[in-house]
Structure 1
Amino acid sequence: MPAIVPAQTAPGSHAEALNMRLVGTNDLQGRTAYQPTIHKQGKRWILYVGHHGDKKLNPLDGAMEDNGTSILDVTDPAHPKYLAHIPGEEGKAEQGGAQMVRVCSGSDLPRADKSKYYMLRVFGNQAHEIWDVTVPEKPALLTTIVRGLKGTHKNFWECDTGIAYLVSGNPQWRTNRMTQIYDLSDPAHPVFIRDFGLVGQQPGAGGAVPIAVHGGISTGPKGNRVYFGYGTSTDGVLQIVDREKLLKGPKEPTPENLLAPQIARLDMPPMHGAHTVFPMLGVDVPEFAKNYLGKTRDFVVITDEAIQKECLEGRQMVWFVDISTETKPFGVANFTVPEASGDFCSRGGRFGTHSSNESMAPVFYKRLMFFAHFNAGVRALDVRNPMAPKEVGFYIPAMTANTVVLETPASSANGPRLPYTEAANRRAIQTNNVEVDERGYIYIVDRANTGLHILELTGPARAIANWDAAAKE
């Protein structure tokens, strides 16, 4: 089935779609957006969006505010309601804002006030904060976990235990992004557990500094694994870690102690990173249903991040890695959007992957995944057989008056930057991050200020989802 594209129109003037439709939008006050997180609070569904650095007018109070965190009520996804904006750090792009946001219910956290809801966010590159968002229209700062950092990024928070894996830049370490682990089971009283990273990043080490961590995903006590992704568009590393050894083992960051919880490490080719590493465990592979061995397998889905405009780097893609034998991970499949399908390298902005959804909501888990693909919008993949993923839908939003020309990276991690052409100054959709909720809605936010788009599947793609699971929410 061909893409639905109005005839004789320039790219970006209208939405382009296949098996996905727009449900609702919000301009997010024209702010450049990074991470969306959806949380059910009572009978309401509340969306939290972390922003890159910039300064915009907040119409709710009439003040010019540094980009921080947007809070919206998306209970009715066709009419999302903007509730509040919490300013972040002054600065532009990666040097300001409050990119990362996670939310836990007090009823889930072991030692929290059971009547409250808590938001974990970064304050630019300086600090990690906890906010009381029980009344999302009136968020209140509860505590600052740690400040005086030289970097932050994509954290992970186990709501059932309170353990948080904070991407930080401890000034004593040799990298601006490593992992600081805290017990936030009582959000008002954070307890530091340990620092963690790759050997060579720790204080006092010598030689080359290994690539910085981008983020991790934990399976909690039951799964006893933490999956860390390092790198963005280069020198990617997937690290599989024993959670119990990580939390209970020796804490001093010696090479021996840093390696002790490591189960496996997969080094990717030099021109690919590991922005998001998403575990997809216990997959019954249809092709092997009659085989005595190997019918059920474990995978990690690695998503690179495109950095340079006009494809002036290696193609950033999605990689499916079989970790059924954890000590011997190996790649079994990949996915990229065919460039010729939309002339994406010259359309403007970045082309290539950035992130995947991270929710394991049963409506989609092990059936469908969604990948933010910058100027190629969001792509929906059938992942029921991870050895042969198949694209079944996509949505590229239309540009609006808010859409800007994406900032130009200062340099290329792959060497001297090649010269850009006039396409570098073209406005383009830059779908930055994607998340889903238990109801089956898909949320995408735009790096180039185009705002929020709430989507749903249609046609054959919709038939793949587990709607029985969604109906229970």
Structure 2
Amino acid sequence: METQGERMHHGTGGLWLLVAHLRWLSLLLVAVVGLGEARAQQAMSGSGRPASSRLVDTPFKKAPRPIIGAMRVPRESLPQIENFQLMGYSPLPNPGGTIARGLNGPIGISGNCLYVGSRVGRRPGTGPAFGTPALPPDVLIVDISNPRKPTVVGSFPTLLNATSRELRTIPDANTLIIMNFRETGLDPGEGNNYQIYDITDCRRPVLKQTISLGQDRPHEFFLWRDPKERTRFLIYSSIHLGEVHEPSVRVFELLSPPSGPVSSTPVATFTLAPAVPHQEPVAPSEYRDDHFIFDPGGKPSVQRNNVHSMSVSPDGSRVYVANIHAGYYILDSTRLAQKLPCKRDTVTEDERSNTDPNLCLRKLNPDPKARIDMTPPYGWTEHSAYAVPGRPYLLVSGERNGTDTCPWSVGTILDISNEKAPQFVSRYLVPENLEANCFVGGPGDPALRREFSPHQQLVFSNLFFISWYSAGLRAWDIANPVLPMEVGVFVPRPAEQIVERFRDSPDVWMWSHPLLYNGYIYVADVNNGLYVLRYKGPRCDEVPKLGLFMSNTNFQLPPAQPPGAGHACP
């Protein structure tokens, strides 16, 4: 929340004048977007297919850019770099290889070791499609003692037919946690788990314990550390994909990792069901036509209402939930965080179910219908929700996978000063997210085999970094949340040789959580490898030069900072 001083700062006459000017710019952008939508409606061929049209771009060719970021340059013109400096790179080869393996997954750092998981349940380049037996997927170990020369120095296998889709480190506890979920081909009940490793020797992880989820596939997780009992951790896990069984929020307690007590029985669970069924019919006509330009018959007839991901406040009292199609809402988790006696399972029958103050997890607004719900009419799924440190705002973003799903998804800033009734503040997007640009020959053409969905964030008080698939890594200034400003762009030139490409695409697929470590940003591209970057744009002085920072744990969150002027770095 804002301090009294911050509220007074927001009320000064100079800032109000600035806001007035920024509102004028916002109206200009709205006009540009509206013109683009009109052109898109006119740019249809006789067959109903999108015809060639003039694309719509932001009028701001240099950072900072309000609301709409920079358009991606063509692949042959990459790299595209603004206010970032490339410090180091590794193609992340397979063990014994020299070229990029592709299909990279999440990253985590402990000491001089960086770990890279796998998006698939086998080693890239192996399996029936390659005429070889499928080998287990590898977690790569990268030596980052010299950030300018990150080098793969080892690897270890995880479970065959299961993807190591997320991972976290606890450096001071010498612990690595890997989340796996099964892919097609594995017997039900195997491969859906959290593996807990001892990384005292960070190059030689030792598996110590496993939390099994049986037939239920985890998808994303948040690792919360008790600030009062620092050996106590809670793993907040979502259940997603396949035959989803509610509850789709499950919390597991981990004590004194890597070898301390742990159980596969959750200490708390939450579901909106049955008040909001985890699947329910929806009329395809409720979706916007211009969100299905390249697949007019692809409008869903079923809405999925299980949880995609969540984040947790530093003190553990709030859980910010992103539900696939049921939107965003906030849970009270105070009793669970404080180790007070509480009722483990929350089942939402009606508007009274979440009024019980003794629940471990309860929806702050007990009305099951009280949610920020954007789908339909929009075609995406809700993906992420992260609170802005020290300020009453929530960064949320959607995701829409596929190369034929233009305009994909956008990001939104919500005001959560009233946690029971979050309010829309603004949006942030790239030009490829404008419906007007979904036409053959345009930036949304499926022939380009690209995707422009925002994915994972690293959030500071006035600045955030976000991986954005084919838009690369973007930086946004949110000191004025009404008018977010894009202040940095990094889109690398794709590797020429890759063992196995994601979606058979030759393009950029920036996907992982960005991590800040000792002043450098580390981020992995699914296809192309690991990038080490230095941000040198506006508010660079607010980026810590020492320490490890990430937004998917509470104990490595960036520190809260006042909304000062901010400066660029030389």
Give yes or no for TM over 0.5.
yes
| Change beyond 3 A, Cα 1:426–1:86 | closer
Aligned equivalent of 1:354: 454
- 2-structure distance, mates of 1:402, 1:236: 41
- Any idea what SS the aligned residue of 1:465 has? helix
- 1-structure distance, mates of 2:193, 2:467: 27
Contact 1:236 1:272 in 2 (8 A): no
- Any idea what SS the aligned residue of 2:372 has? strand
- Any idea what SS the aligned residue of 2:147 has? coil
2:193 paired with 1:136: no
Aligned equivalent of 1:267: 373
- 1-structure distance, mates of 2:383, 2:278: 25
- Any idea what SS the aligned residue of 1:259 has? helix
Task: State the Cα distance separating 1:168 from its structure 2 match.
Answer: 3.8
Task: State the Cα distance separating 1:11 from its structure 2 match.
Answer: 1.6
Contact 1:88 1:98 in 2 (8 A): yes
| Change beyond 3 A, Cα 1:436–1:316 | same
**Mapping for residues 308-319 of structure 1, pairs under 5 Å:** 308-310=402-404, 312-319=405-412
Matched to 2:75, the amino acid is P
State the percentage of identical aligned residues: 20
Aligned equivalent of 1:291: none
2:519 paired with 1:429: no
**Mapping for residues 385-404 of structure 1, pairs under 5 Å:** 385-403=480-498
| Change beyond 3 A, Cα 1:226–1:402 | farther
- 1-structure distance, mates of 2:476, 2:241: 37
Select which of 387, 393, 410 maps to 1:279. Answer: 387
Aligned equivalent of 1:51: 118
Select which of 418, 421, 426 maps to 1:333. Answer: 426
2:502 paired with 1:406: yes
Aligned equivalent of 2:563: none
- 2-structure distance, mates of 1:240, 1:450: 36
Task: State the Cα distance separating 1:121 from its structure 2 match.
Answer: 1.0
- Any idea what SS the aligned residue of 2:512 has? strand
2:116 paired with 1:21: no
- 1-structure distance, mates of 2:451, 2:125: 29
Task: State the Cα distance separating 1:165 from its structure 2 match.
Answer: 0.9
Aligned equivalent of 1:67: 137
Matched to 1:121, the amino acid is I
Matched to 1:216, the amino acid is M
Select which of 85, 91, 107 maps to 1:36. Answer: 107
- Any idea what SS the aligned residue of 2:513 has? strand
Aligned equivalent of 2:5: none
Task: State the Cα distance separating 1:135 from its structure 2 match.
Answer: 0.9
Task: State the Cα distance separating 1:335 from its structure 2 match.
Answer: 0.9
Contact 1:57 1:65 in 2 (8 A): no
- Any idea what SS the aligned residue of 2:219 has? coil
| Change beyond 3 A, Cα 1:457–1:27 | same
Contact 2:142 2:150 in 1 (8 A): yes
Q: Which structure is higher in helix share?
A: 2
Select which of 344, 353, 372 maps to 2:443. Answer: 344
Q: Which runs of 5+ in 2 are unaligned?
A: 1-59, 64-72, 94-100, 127-132, 183-191, 282-302, 356-361, 366-370, 549-570
- Any idea what SS the aligned residue of 1:267 has? coil
TM-score, normalization: structure 2? 0.63
Matched to 1:19, the amino acid is N
Q: Which segment is superposed worse, 82-91 or 318-327? A: 82-91
- Any idea what SS the aligned residue of 2:545 has? helix
Contact 2:86 2:531 in 1 (8 A): yes
- Any idea what SS the aligned residue of 2:444 has? helix
Task: State the Cα distance separating 1:274 from its structure 2 match.
Answer: 2.3
Contact 2:401 2:408 in 1 (8 A): no
- Any idea what SS the aligned residue of 1:304 has? strand
Task: State the Cα distance separating 1:84 from its structure 2 match.
Answer: 2.9
- Any idea what SS the aligned residue of 1:124 has? strand
Q: RMSD in angstroms over aligned alpha carbons?
A: 3.4
TM-score, normalization: structure 1? 0.75
- 1-structure distance, mates of 2:248, 2:158: 21
Contact 1:373 1:431 in 2 (8 A): yes
- Tell which structure's C-alpha radius of gyration is larger: 2
Contact 1:368 1:464 in 2 (8 A): no
| Change beyond 3 A, Cα 1:282–1:259 | same
Task: State the Cα distance separating 1:155 from its structure 2 match.
Answer: 1.0
Q: Which runs of 5+ in 1 are unaligned?
A: 108-115, 284-297, 408-424
Identify which of structures 1 and 2 has the higher relative contact order when contacts are C-alpha pairs closer than 8 Å and 6+ apart: 2
Contact 2:472 2:491 in 1 (8 A): yes
- 2-structure distance, mates of 1:279, 1:15: 31
Aligned equivalent of 2:11: none
| Change beyond 3 A, Cα 1:172–1:350 | closer
